[in-house]
Each structure stands twice: as structure tokens, then as C-alpha cells.
């Protein structure tokens, strides 16, 4: 049995920044006057292929504080996040206060290996910079889905900070109306 794939999905700048603290990207549908329907369709495709979401505590709390409150969400993201199995890595979070959530205390690599070996569809992680760096370092990532924004920041935390990764295989390059390009890369492992 091949197991499940772990997919890292990130919004990323041309210079590799994934830290959104400076507000350089907007969630699909939030940019006024820009047709995001094609980005939303890509996100729906990803959601349909995944039945598990892995996040660090900070990203989890940001998602929990935003998406359940979106009563007029036409993207389907709110519904997906409510129903998907969520795994949050935290040594401090006691009650996740969101249905279908399991809190993992670690070690992260062991928890992820066990989840990957279990039956199911893709496991997606997004944001969660510290967690993603640990997953990359442990060689657990099967695919990167990078929603690449046509901007350069010159500062901020990057996806591959300090990482060395063998050549990746480009499996898709999909441009969107907004100028964003989805780049999908598979790892050799």
C-alpha cells in the first residue's frame, strides 16, 4: 500500500516568501475587481482530493478565528474546513474548540508518518512555517503546491530557508486571471 501524500500548499512570492504577516496576499475572492474564480476552482479541486489538514497552532487559530464566521462564503473553504479532519501541532493548546480536530503533542515526524500510512486521501498543510520546515527537514513532503504571487518582497520567512532538496519534478504550471500561477512539484521520495 502506497499510503497518503503529504501536500504543502503555500501562497508564495516570486522570491520565496511565505510569511503573510505583512498582508501581501488576499484569500481567494477578497481582491476587489479581480476574477478569482479560477483560483477558487483550484482550491475546490485540492479540497476534494484531501481529507486531512495539518497545521501549527498559530495557523490553526487564525483559520479557526476566521473561516467558521464566514456565513456568506461562496468558495466552499469554510464548509471544507468545518468538516475536514484537522490535526494541530501544539504543546500548549488544550481544547481546540473546532469540530473534527485532534491535537498532536509530537514528535511531529512520527505522528505524520502514522497518518500517511493510514487509509485516506491527501493530507494538506498550509501556512504553519515552523511545521512545514520540520516536515521538509524530515523528508515527509510528497508535493508542493505553490500559489505564486507576482510580487517580490525582499524580506520575510521563506519556504526553503536553510533546506537542501534534491531536484523536484514540475507536474503542473497553471496561470490564473489574477497573475497568480500555481506551480506543483513532486518530490523524488
Summarize pLDDT for 88-122 with one digit per residue, the tens. Answer: 999 999 899 999 999 998 799 999 999 999 999 99
Which of the residue ranges 32-41, 59-68, 139-148 would you say has the lowest mean pLDDT? Answer: 32-41
pTM (2 decimals)?
Answer: 0.90
- What pLDDT is stored for residue 10 in this prediction? 94
**Residue among 188, 179, 162, 167 at smallest CA distance from 11:** 179
- Per-residue pLDDT at 170 exceeds 60: yes
- What pLDDT is stored for residue 26 in this prediction? 60
Dihedral angle, C-alpha 8, 79, 61, 124, nearest 10 ° = -10
Tell me the CATH class for 6-20+59-186.
Answer: alpha beta
Q: Rounded to whole angstroms, how far apart are CA atoms 73 and 55?
A: 21
- What pLDDT is stored for residue 136 in this prediction? 93
- Per-residue pLDDT at 1 exceeds 50: no
pLDDT-based confidence at 55, cuts 50/70/90? very high
- What pLDDT is stored for residue 29 in this prediction? 45
Q: Rounded to whole angstroms, how far apart are CA atoms 101 and 61?
A: 12
Amino acid at each position: 500500500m502506497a499510503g497518503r501524500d503529504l501536500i504543502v500548499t503555500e501562497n508564495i512570492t516570486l522570491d520565496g516568501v511565505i510569511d503573510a504577516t505583512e498582508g501581501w496576499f488576499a484569500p481567494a475572492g477578497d481582491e476587489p475587481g479581480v476574477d478569482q474564480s479560477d483560483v477558487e476552482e483550484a482550491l475546490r479541486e485540492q479540497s476534494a482530493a484531501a481529507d486531512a489538514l495539518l497545521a501549527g497552532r498559530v495557523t490553526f487559530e487564525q483559520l479557526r478565528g476566521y473561516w467558521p464566521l464566514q456565513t456568506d462564503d461562496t468558495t466552499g473553504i469554510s464548509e471544507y474546513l468545518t468538516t475536514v479532519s484537522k490535526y494541530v501541532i501544539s504543546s500548549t493548546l488544550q481544547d481546540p474548540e473546532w469540530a473534527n480536530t485532534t491535537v498532536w503533542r509530537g514528535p511531529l515526524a512520527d505522528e505524520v508518518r502514522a497518518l500517511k500510512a493510514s487509509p485516506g486521501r491527501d493530507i494538506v498543510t498550509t501556512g504553519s512555517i515552523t511545521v512545514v520546515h520540520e516536515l521538509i527537514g524530515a523528508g515527509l513532503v510528497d508535493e508542493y503546491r505553490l500559489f505564486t504571487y507576482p510580487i517580490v518582497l525582499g524580506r520575510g520567512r521563506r519556504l526553503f530557508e536553510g533546506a537542501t532538496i534534491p531536484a523536484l519534478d514540475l507536474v503542473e504550471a497553471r496561470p490564473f486571471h489574477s497573475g497568480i500561477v500555481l506551480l506543483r512539484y513532486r518530490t523524488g521520495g
